[in-house]
Amino acid sequence: MYCQSCGADNPAEHSTCFACHHALDASTVADASTPLLNQRYRLLTQVGAGGFGAVYKAKDTQAAENRPALVAIKQTNLRGLTPQEAIEATDTFHREVALLSHLKHANLPRIYEHFTDPDHWYLVMDFIEGETLEDYLHQGSIGNTGTHSLPLDEVCRIGLQLCEVLHYLHTRQPAIIFRDLKPTNIMRTPKGHLFLIDFGIARHFKPGQTRDTIPLGSPGYAAPEQYGKQQTTPQSDLYSLGALLHQLLSGEDPAENAFHFTPLRLYGDERVIALEALVTDLVDIDARKRPESATQVKQELQRISEVGHQARIWHPPVPQDLPQWQPTFSQQQMQQMQQQAPKPKATTSRRTALKVTTGLLAGIALVGGIEALAAFSHPKTISYPAPSSTAAVQVHPTQWTQRVYYGHTAPVSSLAWSPDSKLIASADYSSIQVWQTSEGNCIYRQDAEQVLMGGWPPDGRLLASAFITDGKTTVLGVPLPGQRGKGFMYTLNLDAAQALAWSPDGKRIAIGISQDVHVLDVATGEIVFTQGGQNDAGHSLTWSPDGRYLAWYSSLYNKLEVWNVVAQSRIFSHQSVVPNEIGSGGTVVWSPDGKFLAFTPQEAIEIWSTTSWQVTSTIGRNGIITIALAWSPDSKRLVSAGDSDGTVWVWNVTDGSPLFSYQGHTATVEAVAWSPDGSSVASAGVDKTVQIWAPHSI
């Protein structure tokens, strides 16, 4: 019998699943005689139904390492439909395939394949463990009213996630208008992560078109223009977002009184007043009066969330005295730094035109330090089963956690320790924050859209970052408060940077662009090295410890290349046979002793010798794509992350055995970094926390 919870196959006489200990119910569990769909999928149970079909949880009996064993299969049933209904069902199916197949975002399910039989269309996609937002709201309904409002903080968290995915959709070329944002089309995992589902009526924005071809939408959530008056735009989705936020705050179903929203009358501090004003603007009948973009709504939700709830650090086991405010890098200092920046020399690069920016940083505001600690709280208590003799030790997160930083309001994508291990820089896509690891003071913050962080040189004087404006990349070196020395700023006529890496000698910065990898001389502003020529060439960059070699990984092509930067010659190239979509998210890191490259072209971690250029060992777990990777300073251990449940693993490089697993996070971890003194690991990701913990081996 196949478990409906995890898909594992069990002997027929078992009453509980050997893999996940879920109770086996013979009335709902498929057995080996159940016919396979498309000769590979065994349907386990129905998990949903729609107007033209149903959604099933299924086991992929031929799942390779790059595919999950459990999937969701969306079935469109053409049998018994009228000709018009068959046209609508087919159009809906193809629309969803065409749109979702090319989208990759943390809040969207992945599509793996689609197929047909004479009476059905089938779509195979990620199985999302959880419930719809509508079911979540009904669970907390009051009495028999069926209403359930949510706390303001939870509403803001939901709104921020939806803004992130709407921003992603609206910035595609052409823009994608979802058109059906409502609780039944939002899946919520047990840890609060959201997924947009059902792209059946989504469409591309068509410049110049006066109105949508067919009026579609869900009453109460659909903007007035979706009823055939005008063409739907990103503002139409923002109207639906406003209707949803109103429902979450009031408990009222907007479908019961479309286009009429009762005043929320949220009494209290600045946060609740501001949130009511935002919702009112979102549901304005006139689309021109709504916010211009999901990014604008996100920024306001972030501001509302931060008022009275600024950066918080958890210090186990008891709260410490609140630290004092710390000065930040001032605008006056920024202007002085720009005036002192050296003028760039003419470049010999065939692709690069350099110039020094003469004005202030466009789009960046160096804001005041994040407020001192407002509150202390312990991470949620989690119980783990006793480990087996062959498994990594799983521990209570509070046992090894040293600090938890809550200053970010978006998923954190990168981390960097200062050389003395006293500071850590953490970045999401719209801000970089630097804070003291011992006391938790935020001493620097840089806000900008599409900001990228590159860490410190060995002397720790400057923090490297980059941001994108008007299709150009500006690379910035900033002396932090208390540091002396000149900074630098160069605006390069290059596409958006994807990765930055400071050379070990502190004289150069490698920049991964969409097609090439460039090396910038920070003293002169000259591009001294350019290689690449393939899309997505610089997804991940790493220098050899002696600064002679630069390795990079192309996620689109699953290709690893190593170049001698001085001689400008390629010394090694390797292309994985894993399909392109599996390569996305991989990384490459050079060991501190210079002897190895750790490379993650697929679920396993490959360790390559830098003398023989052969794989010396392969470590990791099948089925888990590694997103983040870091070496210990002694080159004997690796820390990796990629689990959707937030688990971080520590590995023994010598024999490939797991030494330790840290489970303090509640969602996917996207960045890890080992402190230079070897005492701590920092990890961060989708749950927006940065956690510092001791990498014990037991």
Q: In which band, very low, low, confident or very high, does the pLDDT at 205 lie, cut at 50, 70 and 90?
A: low
Highest mean pLDDT among 16-25, 312-321, 526-535, 642-651: 642-651
Please, are residues 503 and 489 in contact by the beta-carbon 8 Å criterion?
no
Last residue of a domain, one of 306, 321, 341: 306
Is position 257 within any domain?
A: yes
> Cα(511)–Cα(351) distance, rounded to whole angstroms?
13
In this prediction the pTM is 0.50
Please, are residues 664 and 691 in contact by the beta-carbon 8 Å criterion?
yes
Answer whether residue 560 shows pLDDT above 70: yes
CA-wise closest residue to 560 among 539, 546, 581, 533: 539
My answer on whether 119 and 141 are in the same domain is: no
**Block residue for tokens 């059946």:** 200
Q: In which band, very low, low, confident or very high, does the pLDDT at 298 lie, cut at 50, 70 and 90?
A: very high
Backbone angles phi, psi at 445, to 5 degrees: -145, 135
Backbone angles phi, psi at 429, to 5 degrees: -75, -5
User: Which residue did the predictor score with more confidence, 423 or 101?
Assistant: 423
Q: What is the predicted pLDDT for the residue at 581?
A: 45
> Cα(635)–Cα(638) distance, rounded to whole angstroms?
8
Residues catalogued as catalytic: 180
My answer on whether 53 and 173 are in the same domain is: no
CA-wise closest residue to 651 among 625, 621, 691, 671: 621
Q: What is the predicted pLDDT for the residue at 312?
A: 40
> Cα(616)–Cα(632) distance, rounded to whole angstroms?
18
Q: In which band, very low, low, confident or very high, does the pLDDT at 149 lie, cut at 50, 70 and 90?
A: confident
Q: Which segment of 44-53, 286-295, 319-328, 623-632 scores lowest on mean pLDDT?
A: 319-328
3-state helix/strand/coil string of 296-320: HHHHHHHHHHHCCCCCCEECCCCCC
Answer whether residue 384 shows pLDDT above 60: no
Is position 584 within any domain?
A: no
My answer on whether 289 and 168 are in the same domain is: yes
> Cα(498)–Cα(476) distance, rounded to whole angstroms?
15
My answer on whether 94 and 145 are in the same domain is: no
Please, are residues 374 and 309 in contact by the beta-carbon 8 Å criterion?
yes
Is position 481 within any domain?
A: no
Q: What is the predicted pLDDT for the residue at 687?
A: 87
My answer on whether 147 and 224 are in the same domain is: yes
- How far, in whole angstroms, is CA 107 from its chain's centroid? 8
> Cα(158)–Cα(186) distance, rounded to whole angstroms?
10
3-state helix/strand/coil string of 490-522: EEECCCCCCEEEECCCCCEEEEECCCEEEEEEC
Is position 206 within any domain?
A: yes
Give the percent of the chain with pLDDT over 90: 28
Q: Could you tell me which residues are beta bridge partners of residue 473?
A: 468, 492
Last residue of a domain, one of 62, 92, 126: 126
Number of domains in the chain: 2
Answer whether residue 323 shows pLDDT above 70: no
> Cα(167)–Cα(429) distance, rounded to whole angstroms?
12
pLDDT tens for 493-532 read 877 678 889 999 889 999 987 668 899 999 888 999 988 6
Let me know how long the chain is.
698
Which domain, by its residues, includes 150?
Answer: 131-306
Please, are residues 421 and 679 in contact by the beta-carbon 8 Å criterion?
yes
Answer whether residue 226 shows pLDDT above 60: yes
Last residue of a domain, one of 306, 330, 354: 306
Q: What is the predicted pLDDT for the residue at 160?
A: 96
Is position 393 within any domain?
A: no
- Alpha-carbon torsion angle 254, 256, 262, 264, nearest 10: -50
Backbone angles phi, psi at 627, to 5 degrees: -95, -40
Is position 298 within any domain?
A: yes
Q: In which band, very low, low, confident or very high, does the pLDDT at 153 lie, cut at 50, 70 and 90?
A: confident
Is position 268 within any domain?
A: yes
pLDDT tens for 537-559 read 557 899 999 999 999 887 666 77
Answer whether residue 324 shows pLDDT above 70: no
Q: What is the mean pLDDT of residues 319-344?
A: 37
My answer on whether 236 and 256 are in the same domain is: yes
CB-count burial class (<10 Å; 0-12, 13-18, 19+) for 262: exposed
Identify the sign of the CA torsion 572, 577, 580, 583.
negative
My answer on whether 118 and 138 are in the same domain is: no
My answer on whether 122 and 218 are in the same domain is: no
Q: What is the predicted pLDDT for the residue at 490?
A: 86
pLDDT tens for 123-140 read 999 999 999 999 998 875
My answer on whether 80 and 219 are in the same domain is: no
My answer on whether 143 and 224 are in the same domain is: yes
Q: What is the mean pLDDT of residues 261-270?
A: 69
Is position 683 within any domain?
A: no
Give residues with Cβ within 8 angstroms of 213, minimum separation 6.
none
The enclosing domain of 275 has a CATH number of: 1.10.510.10
User: Which residue did the predictor score with more confidence, 279 or 338?
Assistant: 279
Give the percent of the chain with pLDDT over 70: 72
Locate all alpha helices (DSSP H) within 171-293, ordered by sequence.
234-250, 270-282
Q: What is the mean pLDDT of residues 95-116?
A: 87
> Cα(51)–Cα(198) distance, rounded to whole angstroms?
12
My answer on whether 292 and 158 are in the same domain is: yes
My answer on whether 155 and 142 are in the same domain is: yes
Answer whether residue 208 shows pLDDT above 50: yes
The enclosing domain of 96 has a CATH number of: 3.30.200.20
